[in-house]
Structures are given as structure tokens and as C-alpha cells.
């Protein structure tokens, strides 16, 4: 209960960073990773549109959704929970997820454009992405 007699209320964004603190390094890093994948995803999308060959659509979809949208959402979460961003678990989560994206997404592009030999790398990268998301679930359910 707060002084108005209501239940817990969300913090105002300006209350998250008292004493002029900056956005957590981890959140900033997630946005840097995310924007690189958005640019790559858009290049693949533009290439598909211009060439009128949509065979890379699955790689385009995952570069944009796993590389850009999910990374940016992780960044938003850590920006809203600066205390959780400052833990070894969150740092490990970041590196495992990013390593997974860096392996899975370009290899998926090569796979769907005809290089079947890279399939084991897509599988390995996918496992890292999955592990990164699993660790994010642990971060979300952990106490601050």
C-alpha cells in the first residue's frame, strides 16, 4: 500500500536513475547489437524485394525478430531494471544470446540461400539463442 491507499504503483521513468545515473551499459550494448541486426535484416529485405526472389524470407524474418526486436526488448527490460542489469547472470545472458545471434542468423541466411553445409552451425547458434532466452527467463524471475 502507498500513501494514497492504492496498491503498488509503477515507478515514473525519472525515478529509475536517481543522482544522474546513465542507462545501464548492458541496455546500451543490446541496442547497439539490435540496430546492427536491423540494418542487416533490412538489407536482406530490400535485396529480396529488388531481386524479386523471396527465398531468404526465413533468414530476413529471424534477423529482424531475433536480432533486432528481441535484442531491443532485452535492452528495454534492462533499462527498466538497472539493478538486474548489473549482475554476472545478466552479463552472461547477454554474451550467450549475442554469440547465438552472431552464429545463427548469418548462417541461416547462407542455409536458405543454398549452402546446406552450414546447417550444423545454424543448429549450434540456435541452441545458444535458446540458452540465452532461458537465462533471460531466469533473470526475469529472479528477485532484484
Which of positions 107-126 make contact with ligand HEM (CB under 6 A)? Answer: 126
Please state the closest distance from residue 29 (CB atom) to ligand HEM, in A. 19
Please state the closest distance from residue 16 (CB atom) to ligand HEM, in A. 26
Instruction: Tell me the C-alpha distance between 49 and 43, whole Å.
Output: 10
Q: Which is nearer to ligand HEM, 49 or 115 (CB)?
A: 49
Which of positions 63-102 make contact with ligand HEM (CB under 6 A)? Answer: 64-66, 68-70
Q: Look up cell 496498491; give the residue.
A: 7
Which of positions 11-70 make contact with ligand HEM (CB under 6 A)? Answer: 42, 45-46, 48-49, 54, 57-58, 60-62, 64-66, 68-70
Q: Which is nearer to ligand HEM, 60 or 84 (CB)?
A: 60
Q: Which residue is nearest to ligand HEM (CB)?
A: 45
Instruction: Tell me the C-alpha distance between 48 and 125, whole Å.
Output: 24
Q: Look up cell 540496430; give the residue.
A: 35
Instruction: Tell me the C-alpha distance between 106 and 134, whole Å.
Output: 22
**b or e along 47-84 (b: 16 or more beta carbons within 10 Å of the residue's beta carbon)?**
ebeeeeeeebeebbebbbebbbebbbebbebbbebbeb
Binding site for ligand HEM (CB under 6 A): 42, 45-46, 48-49, 54, 57-58, 60-62, 64-66, 68-70, 126, 129-130
Amino acid at each position: 500500500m502507498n500513501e494514497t491507499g492504492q496498491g503498488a504503483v509503477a515507478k515514473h521513468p525519472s525515478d529509475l536513475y536517481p543522482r544522474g545515473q546513465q542507462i545501464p551499459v548492458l541496455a546500451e550494448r543490446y541496442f547497439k547489437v539490435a540496430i546492427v541486426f536491423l540494418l542487416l535484416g533490412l538489407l536482406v529485405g530490400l535485396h529480396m524485394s529488388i531481386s524479386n526472389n523471396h527465398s531468404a524470407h526465413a533468414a530476413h524474418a529471424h534477423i529482424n525478430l531475433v536480432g533486432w526486436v528481441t535484442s531491443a526488448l532485452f535492452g528495454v527490460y534492462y533499462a527498466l531494471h538497472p539493478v538486474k542489469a548489473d549482475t554476472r547472470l545478466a552479463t552472461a545472458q547477454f554474451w550467450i544470446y549475442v554469440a547465438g545471434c552472431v552464429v545463427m542468423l548469418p548462417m541461416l541466411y547462407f542455409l536458405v540461400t543454398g549452402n546446406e553445409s552450414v546447417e550444423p552451425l545454424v543448429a549450434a547458434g540456435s541452441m545458444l539463442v535458446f540458452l540465452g532466452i532461458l537465462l533471460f527467463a531466469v533473470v526475469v524471475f529472479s528477485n532484484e
